[in-house]
Amino acid sequence: MKKFLVFVLISISCANLFAQKSKKATPENGSDWNRPKLVVGIVVDQMRYDYLTRFYNKYGNDGFKRLMNQGFDCRNNHFNYIPTYTGPGHASVYTGTTPKYHGIIGNNWYDKEIKETIYCAGDEGVSPVGTDSPSGKMSPHRLMTTTFGDENRMFTQFKGKTIGVALKDRGAILPAGHTANAAYWFHGSDEGRWITSSFYMKELPQWVIDFNKSGNSASYMKTWDTYYNIDTYVESGLDLNEFEGGFKGKETATFPYDLNAIKEKNGYFDILKTTPYGNSMTADFAIAALDGEQLGQDKITDVLTVSFSSTDYVGHNFGVNSKEIEDTYIRLDLDLARLFKALDDKVGEGEYTVFLTADHGAVEVPAYLHSVKIPSGYLNNSDSKKKFDAFMKKDFGHDDLVENISNNQVFLNREKIKELGLDLDDVQDAIVEELLSYENVYKAYTAQTMASTSFTTGVEELLENGFNQKRSGDVLVVQDPAFISYGRTGSTHGSGFNYDTHVPLLFYGKGIKQGHTFERTVIPDIASTISSLLGVSFPSGATGRPLGFLLK
Ligand code: ZN
Ligand code: ZN
Ligand code: ZN
């Protein structure tokens, strides 16, 4: 046993022998908890679980595989709510709960009170910083609960920093939370620079100004060809096929893509978002932030959130089975290796903790699924809308009872329903009955059912977890598996099926055991696990459980 020597200094002066009380020796500042110097949260936008396994042989040892083999791999990790979109996804990872509690029910949604469609990160009350474009008018004000970064900020008396980085504003802002020191996102167009809003600061810090001046984004305006010989990309379909969108100004969606030649027709710097170079820029910027923001330089834990958005743009354009997706993941693996190397150098190996997950998965292109005999297809919304309007007119005598249909939800004009003396429950029930008779409608439920029932399994549980009583609509609809409202090329997401819910969850670094599990974990478990690792309070709405089996 160690012996402790306790020195108690008592100053005695004759003048105030009894007036002065002795003070106990002060223990070291802060708690003794062995926290990492930095937590790095990584979200890969639109990453299906099988991108880890399908491209496994193409990855090096220092990117995904470093986390998979030296860290902890949760192989059965899912989103536990509908809709699986980017805004809700990022919010759920960092708040440890679902739209039911954090309130981010979509990327955009119909606001019942102001009767307008709003954007999850849009904020007319703030101004752009680093640009004059309205793309800077963003903040997390619609996020109703705290993130683990917020809790860490309060725990450390605001000495631990939080910085958010992503091409997409919502991918930077929602993870970083309410008390973030900064969130930075990319403004493409003819500017090609990293920006923020007055929510965080009055002007960009010098390191961001310098980064923007460095010509980083312009340096990626080059040809995108496959990283390895395309003939070795045996894990994906043919480069030329009918399931890919491609770029304006290039006839076929085939390699190589001369970005300089087609940038004018594709939004100038915005074209970089739909290439793996958007992820490289993000890694460059995140690495610059380590120095610029002095992250992980002392014992007080900082939080860096990084979201790689280009995977989503490439997926939407080219689809799950494309060579373009394969190349994008091969290159993301290299960017991750670069980021981890920078963390080793600047923070120190074993001094930081990383997790990597996604904000949703993606469906294979339905036209492709159809070609291999799997039930799938595209919804004819205009036909359904006509049929639906006719039904409302016939059954209720009015065609203005519906205010909005969006995100697979019907929003009713409640004032009008009241005025006509109709019963809201009856109207909701009748709409459910009607919609269930439509082709490719799998399930439909009323808001009344969502609010009054506690579902514990299945698609109903996912709907309930995504249902926010104040913000969500009156009727919720689920489409058949692999039926989407989308163009005939490229992939999308939003459903509660496994292709959208099953995503990677990897932990690595300080405090993390090596191993894997097939036990089901859900996205809200992440924030509770990181909170437990740090010993900080759980985020205010957290519903996930700490994954104790992976913590040391
Ligand atoms: Zn996304
Ligand atoms: Zn192609
Ligand atoms: Zn998307």
Kindly list the protein residues that place their beta carbon closer than 5 angstroms to ligand 3, a single-atom ion. 312
Cα 430 to ligand 2 centre (Å): 46
Residues with catalytic roles? 86
Of the ligands numbered here, which is closest to the C-alpha atom of 322? 2
* Beta-bridge mates of residue 74: 517
How far, in Å, CA of 316 to CA of 487, rounded?
Answer: 10
Task: Identify whether 524 is preceded by a cis peptide bond (ω within 30 of 0).
Answer: no
CATH 3.30.1360.150 domain range(s) in the chain: 380-439+441-479
Q: In the structure encoding, which two tokens stand for residue 24, read together?
A: 């106990």
CATH 3.40.720.10 domain range(s) in the chain: 38-361+502-550
How far, in Å, CA of 462 to CA of 484, rounded?
Answer: 18
Cα 167 to ligand 2 centre (Å): 23
Dump the DSSP string for 409-427: EEEE-HHHHHHTT--HHHH
Identify the DSSP state of 272. G
Cα 151 to ligand 2 centre (Å): 44
How far, in Å, CA of 217 to CA of 89, rounded?
Answer: 27
How far, in Å, CA of 178 to CA of 537, rounded?
Answer: 15
Alpha helices per DSSP H over 214-258? 216-219
Of the ligands numbered here, which is closest to the C-alpha atom of 250? 2
Dihedral over Cα of 527, 325, 315, 169: its sign:
positive
* Tally of CA atoms within 13 A in the half-sphere of 302 that contains its CB: 22
Nearest to 476 by CA among 507, 431, 416, 516: 431
- The answer to whether residues 134 and 201 touch, using CB atoms and an 8 Å cutoff, is no
The residues near 227 (Cβ < 8 Å, ≥ 6 apart) are 327, 330, 331, 334
Amino acid identity of residue 146, one-letter, is T
Residue that has been written with the tokens 């549980």 in this structure: 461
CATH 3.20.20.70: does it fit domain 380-439+441-479? no
The residues near 517 (Cβ < 8 Å, ≥ 6 apart) are 72, 73, 74, 75, 76, 549, 550
| CATH topology for the 38-361+502-550 domain | Alkaline Phosphatase, subunit A (3.40.720)
Of the ligands numbered here, which is closest to the C-alpha atom of 315? 3
- Find how far residue 224's CA is from the centre of its chain: 26
Per-residue pLDDT of the chain (552 residues; tens, 9 = 90+): 344 444 433 344 444 545 556 777 766 655 557 899 999 999 999 999 999 999 999 999 999 999 999 999 999 999 999 999 999 999 999 999 999 999 999 999 999 999 999 999 999 999 999 999 999 999 999 999 999 999 999 999 999 999 999 999 999 999 999 999 999 999 999 999 999 999 999 999 999 999 999 999 999 999 999 999 999 999 999 999 999 999 999 999 999 999 999 999 999 999 999 999 999 999 999 999 999 999 999 999 999 999 999 999 999 999 999 999 999 999 999 999 999 999 999 999 999 999 999 999 999 999 999 999 999 999 988 888 899 999 999 999 988 999 999 999 999 999 999 999 999 999 999 999 999 999 999 999 999 999 999 999 999 999 999 999 999 999 999 999 999 999 999 999 999 999 999 999 999 999 999 999 999 999 999 999 999 999 999 999 999 999 999 999
Amino acid identity of residue 72, one-letter, is F
